[in-house]
Structure formats: structure tokens, C-alpha cells
């Protein structure tokens, strides 16, 4: 059926009434504008990323012009001890902070979803607050806190800060999962003689596992890519990869930086894709 026509039903008969030319022209212009804006938006977002990845294979040292294809910059990345140390610090902090954020966020979500107590709305708002607070404010406040308690900056301060930063995202994910949780399954298990621990281990935890995995992947990605908070709380010997990249960029963007950024981008994309797949499976 033509897009510029309208079907009018009269009793058991149907007639096709053509749209006015002006209305059809406005619809065509609207579609064209929508497609154009969408294409420009995606180009604005992803063309710089594509250029970065392409020039990470450029043999030219300056990276301003394409010379020839090479893998030497990736070889230098994997042979640079400082880069490997920063990458190891990032992975250690990301793993530890993810574990802490998942445990605390999941338990907090279960408490807020299943129990009623005075001041619950206020506590719920406080848990949402770190999501909207600018990272620079959170980084400065954490730096002041660690200085007040006389805790020297290092891996410990990084892990604590990343747990505080990632936990609200885990909490939000688990609250959404618990909102659709059928508690009658737990009640049925208890009616059959299972105690609270067995019910949690064999019923509750497996049902929550898709949400736990997706929130863990989200927390890991946020921790691995974080720069602002890490910049304020990092110390000597605990430099993370984003902080190292920032230090090198001050001297100028080199092909090694392009290679590091491309590797981090690929890892982040993989984690995001896995998270989306798990969430889709969770919905179905």
C-alpha cells in the first residue's frame, strides 16, 4: 500500500484516499531530517573512535598522516613495563572493587526492597546520590576523607573509592531485578522444610544470578575506565592505566597511546556486549 495514501473503511467496503501533496511532502521531509540527524549523531560519536583505532596501526610516529600498516605500537605496549604495571593495577582494583560493590550493593538492594523501616525513602535517595554527583566532587571528597583519617593513598584507597563509586550502579541494577522477583518460590521452599540459608543458596541466589553477573560486569567496566576519581586517590606505585595515559598525553599523543586506548576500548565493548546479552536473557 502506498505510504501517501489513507484507507477509509465504509461499512464492508474500503476506499483508498490519497494524502494531500503538502502533507506527503512534510512527511518525506520529516523522515529525511530524522535520518540525517541520526547519521550525523552516530558519526559524531563513532568516527573519532574509528580514527583512533585506524591510526593505532599507522607506522608514522606523528600519527598526523597515514604511512603504512604496522603492529609495532602494540608490540611496544606489551613490552613496556610501566604500561603493564599500570594495567595490572587497573585489573586488580577493578576485580576487588567489583567484588565489594556487588556484595554490598546486592545486600543493600535486598534490604531496601524487602524491609520497611523509618527513613527508608531518605536512605534510598542517598544511595541514588552518587550516580548524579559529579565525579570530580566525589574524588575531592574522598581525598579529603583519606587525608582526615590519615590513610596514605595507594591500592587500598583506590579500591575503597571504586567500591563507593560502583556500588550505586549495582544497587540500581539489583533493585530492578528484585522488583520482578516472585517471593512465592521462597515461601514454597520454606514450606517444604528449607531454612533461610538453604532457601537463599538454592532458590534466591540462582534467580538473582543474571542480575548479579550483569551488575558485576557493569561495575568492572566502570572501575576499569575510571580516571577522575582514580586521579585524586592514586598514590606512588598504584597508578592505574587511565591515569598513566593522561600522564603520557601531556607529552603529546603518540601511537602507543592510540594502541592502549584501542585495547581498552575493545575490552570495554566486550564487557558491555556481554552485559547487554545477559540482561536480554534475564528479561526473556
Task: Supply the pLDDT for residue 9.
Answer: 47
**Do residues 99 and 166 touch, judged by C-beta distance below 8 A?**
no
Q: Which residues does 98 contact at the CB level (< 8 Å), separation at least 6? A: 166, 216, 219, 220, 223
Does residue 6 surpass a pLDDT of 90?
Answer: no
pLDDT digits (tens, 9 = 90+) for 70-129: 888 888 888 888 888 988 999 999 999 999 999 999 999 988 888 888 878 888 888 888
CB under 8 A, 24+ apart: contacts of 271-274: 271/217, 271/220, 271/221, 271/224, 272/217, 272/221, 274/217
What 3-state DSSP class applies to 13? strand
pLDDT of the residue at 21 = 62
Residues 6+ apart with CB under 8 A from 51: none
Half-sphere exposure of 44 (CA within 13 A, CB side): 6
pLDDT over threshold 90, residue 12 = no
Output the pTM of the full model: 0.76
Does the structure show a pLDDT above 50 at 10?
no
63-67, 190-194, 219-223: range with highest mean pLDDT:
219-223
Dihedral sign computed on CA atoms, order 29, 35, 38, 44? negative
Residue 157: per-residue pLDDT: 93
Cα–Cα distance for residue pair 22/29, rounded to 1 Å: 11
- What is the share, in percent, of the chain residues with pLDDT greater than 70? 87
Given a contact cutoff of 8 angstroms between Cβ atoms, the answer to whether 105 and 171 are in contact is yes
Here the cell at position 229 is 576519581
Answer with the residue of higher pLDDT: 267 or 101. 101
Q: Phi first, then psi: what are they for 195, rounded to 5°?
A: -80, 180
pLDDT at 19 over 60: no
Q: Interhelix angle for 155-179 vs 205-225, to 10°?
A: 140
- The tens digit of pLDDT for each residue in 131-185 reads 888 889 999 999 999 999 998 888 999 999 999 999 999 999 898 888 878 778 8
Amino acid at each position: 500500500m502506498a505510504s501517501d495514501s489513507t484507507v477509509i473503511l465504509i461499512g464492508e467496503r474500503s476506499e483508498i484516499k490519497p494524502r494531500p501533496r503538502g502533507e506527503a511532502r512534510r512527511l518525506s521531509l520529516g523522515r529525511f531530517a530524522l535520518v540525517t540527524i541520526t547519521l550525523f549523531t552516530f558519526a559524531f560519536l563513532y568516527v573519532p573512535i574509528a580514527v583512533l583505532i585506524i591510526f593505532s596501526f599507522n607506522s608514522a610516529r606523528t600519527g598526523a598522516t597515514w604511512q603504512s600498516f604496522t603492529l609495532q605500537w602494540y608490540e611496544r605496549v606489551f613490552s613496556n613495563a610501566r604500561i603493564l604495571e599500570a594495567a595490572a593495577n587497573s585489573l586488580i582494583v577493578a576485580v576487588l572493587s567489583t567484588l565489594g560493590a556487588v556484595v554490598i550493593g546486592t545486600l543493600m538492594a535486598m534490604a531496601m526492597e524487602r524491609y520497611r523501616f523509618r527513613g527508608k525513602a531518605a536512605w534510598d535517595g542517598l544511595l541514588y546520590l552518587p550516580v548524579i554527583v559529579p565525579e570530580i566532587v566525589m574524588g575531592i571528597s574522598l581525598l579529603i576523607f583519606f587525608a582526615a583519617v590519615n590513610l596514605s593513598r595507594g591500592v587500598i584507597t583506590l579500591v575503597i573509592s571504586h567500591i563507593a563509586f560502583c556500588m550505586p550502579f549495582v544497587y540500581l541494577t539489583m533493585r530492578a531485578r528484585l522488583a520482578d522477583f516472585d517471593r512465592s518460590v521462597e515461601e514454597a521452599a520454606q514450606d517444604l522444610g528449607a531454612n533461610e540459608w538453604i532457601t537463599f543458596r538454592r532458590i534466591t541466589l540462582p534467580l538473582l544470578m543474571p542480575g548479579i553477573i550483569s551488575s558485576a560486569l557493569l561495575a568492572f567496566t566502570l572501575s576499569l575506565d575510571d580516571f577522575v576519581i582514580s586521579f585524586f586517590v592514586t598514590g606512588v606505585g598504584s597508578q592505574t592505566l587511565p591515569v598513566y595515559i593522561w600522564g603520557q598525553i601531556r607529552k603529546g599523543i603518540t601511537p602507543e597511546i592510540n594502541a592502549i586506548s584501542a585495547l581498552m576500548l575493545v575490552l570495554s565493548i566486550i564487557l558491555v556486549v556481554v552485559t547487554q546479552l545477559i540482561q536480554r536473557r534475564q528479561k526473556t
